[in-house]
Amino acid sequence: MSHPSTVSGLLTDVRQVGRDARRGGYSRFTYSDADLELREWFVAEASRRSLDVDVDRNGAIWAWRPGPGGSLEDAVVTGSHVDSVPGGGEFDGPLGIASALVAVDHLDASGARLDRPLAVVLFPEEEGARFGQACLGSQLMTGAFDPVAALDLRDVDGVSLAEALRRGGIDPTRLGRDDQALSRIGAFVELHVEQGRGLIDLGQPVAIASSIIGHGLWRLTVSGEGNHAGATAMDHRRDPLVAAAAVIALVRDAAREVPGARATVGRVQPIPGGTNVIASRVDVWVDVRHDDDQVARSLVSTIFDRARRAAALEGCDVTLTEQSYGGSVDFDPTLRDRLAAVLPEAPILRSGAGHDAGVLADVVPTAMLFTRNPTGISHSPEEQIEEADAESGAAALADVLRDLLTL
């Protein structure tokens, strides 16, 4: 079989995997059947290109074209993720993987000289949608996330990360900072579907990223008194779901008072969650973003103070737990300038979304490319890519890699 050398060709296979009939879009949770199928697909596509595949101690899959003398040091690395948010779009993650594979095809077809090794990497659990920790694979690799804490992570069904890893064929006792993997990366460039309207407004297919906004997830737990919906008089209740309703609105209002801030409640879980039951507890997840980490943290304490006061009016208590935090990131200016020299038409845009590239930027020169999304919508089935833009993105990535691979 001749291998597809277009992004849309590759995504034809990916499109079949992990559709979510109930939510719409795709749910590809890390080490679920859908995720494992896409990991296998990636290995097969890498093997078709004669790339050498290995899986690192944190579950990232690497596909290598070694440099002169079989070297794996000072590699130019590209890649992204294939896991998704619940009911996510088709392209957040897989576009970067498919574009990387197609870029390899472009380099092969043009007989590009590789003075440095080239690798395509697939990071696990970028979204944190299964275990609650965004960019878990890359954070374990850099040491930003503690492997002992990782082993305590469980999904909503109570399945531990260790069990999920074993299902993926990964030994959970080996998680942790991976100096060997890190020392091989000379530069990392991630291509991603754009998650806003920057490229639509500018009329360009491809952008270079300058920075990532700081991004954290907190959990507010509102506790009240579980009781019977029929037998409990209206003024004898301590209903945490009523308090949580006030909390959701005050999160939005508090963020509106802080220029540049974004705060979102996208998930609320009443316990036990019966239709004829006054909940005893409600977990409210609050996603907060700002370029200035101090401002983000101060917004979270404002939210917590106000949440406690709002909950007290309902006779309820609130506790706050930080689930994850990734500070704002400025990508390497030298690498960014180099990309800009290769792609002079590409505008420079900020990223409102988090990425593994943001984690790697702490330890190696890192850059990102965005491909235009004609809806400007992401983390939703509405996310879109035009075929021509997808191929332009992969060609731009190939040009960037060719430049970085030639000394």
293 is in an annotated binding site: no
199 contacts 405 by C-beta, under 8 angstroms = no
Q: Is 105 in the site for Mn ion (CB under 5 A)?
A: no
CB atoms within 10 A of CB 47: 12
Closest C-alpha to 217, from 136, 306, 124, 160: 136
By CB under 5 A, which span of 50-58, 86-94, 240-248, 289-297 interacts with Mn ion?
A: 86-94
Q: Which residue has the tokens 């917590």?
A: 304
Nearer to Mn ion, 205 or 354 (CB): 354
Kindly state the tokens that stand for 401.
Answer: 């890699």
Q: Would the annotation count 81 as a binding residue?
A: yes
Give me the least distance between CB of 145 and ligand GLV, in Å please.
Answer: 16
* Whole-number Å distance between alpha carbons of 75 and 67: 8
For position 90 contacting Mn ion by CB under 5 A, the verdict is no
Contact window for Mn ion (CB under 5 A) among 90-98, 110-118, 250-258, 290-298: 90-98
> Per CB under 5 A, which region of 289-297, 310-318, 353-361, 380-388 contacts Mn ion?
353-361
Is 290 known as a binding-site position? no
How many residues touch Mn ion under the rule CB under 5 A: the total is 3
Kindly state whether residue 92 participates in binding Mn ion, applying the rule CB under 5 A. Answer: yes
Whichever of 96 and 205 has its CB closer to Mn ion, that residue is 96
Taking contact as CB under 5 A, which single stretch among the options 165-173, 203-211, 329-337, 348-356 is the one that binds Mn ion? 348-356
Q: Is 260 left (phi over 0), alpha (psi -120 to 50) or beta?
A: left
CA distances from residue 244 to 239, 308, 403, 404 in whole angstroms, order as listed: 9, 10, 52, 51
Q: How far apart are CA 275 and CA 74, in angstroms?
A: 58
Amino acid type, 302:
T
Q: Residue 81 CB, nearest distance to Mn ion (Å)? A: 6
In the complex with ligand GLV, the residue whose CB is nearer, 172 or 354, is 354
Residues that bind ligand GLV (CB under 6 A): 127, 215, 353-354
Structure tokens at 283: 């977990």
Q: Of 215 and 281, which has the nearer Cβ to ligand GLV?
A: 215
- Min dist CB 71 to ligand GLV, Å, is 33
Q: Which region, judged by CB under 5 A, interacts with Mn ion, from 36-44, 59-67, 113-121, 352-360?
A: 352-360
Give which of ligand GLV, Mn ion, none residue 215 binds (C-beta under 5 to 8 Å, depending on kind): ligand GLV
Nearer to ligand GLV, 48 or 350 (CB): 350
User: Which of 129, 282 has the CB closer to Mn ion?
Assistant: 129
192 is annotated as contributing to ligand binding: yes
What is the nearest approach in angstroms of ligand GLV to the Cβ of residue 92? 6
Binds 106, which of ligand GLV, Mn ion, none (CB < 5 to 8 A, cut-off by type)? none
Place of tokens 């920790």: 133
Q: Do residues 155 and 29 lie in contact, with contact meaning Cβ atoms separated by under 8 Å? A: yes
Where are the strands (E) in 38-101, listed by range?
52-55, 61-65, 75-81
Nearest distance from residue 1's CB to ligand GLV, in Å? 33
- Is residue 393 within 8 Å of 371, Cβ to Cβ? yes
Residue 90 φ/ψ region, left for φ over 0, alpha for ψ in the -120 to 50 degree band, beta for the rest? alpha
Task: Give burial (CB, 10 Å; 0-12/13-18/19+) of 252.
Answer: exposed
- Contact mark string toward Mn ion, 29..48, x via CB under 5 A: --------------------
Q: Which residues pair with 284 in a beta bridge?
A: 220, 268
What's the rounded Cα separation, in Å, for the pair 295 and 314? 29
Binding residue numbers for Zn(2+): 81, 92, 127, 192, 379
Q: Which residues bind Mn ion (CB under 5 A)?
A: 92-93, 354
Binding residue numbers: 81, 92, 127, 192, 379
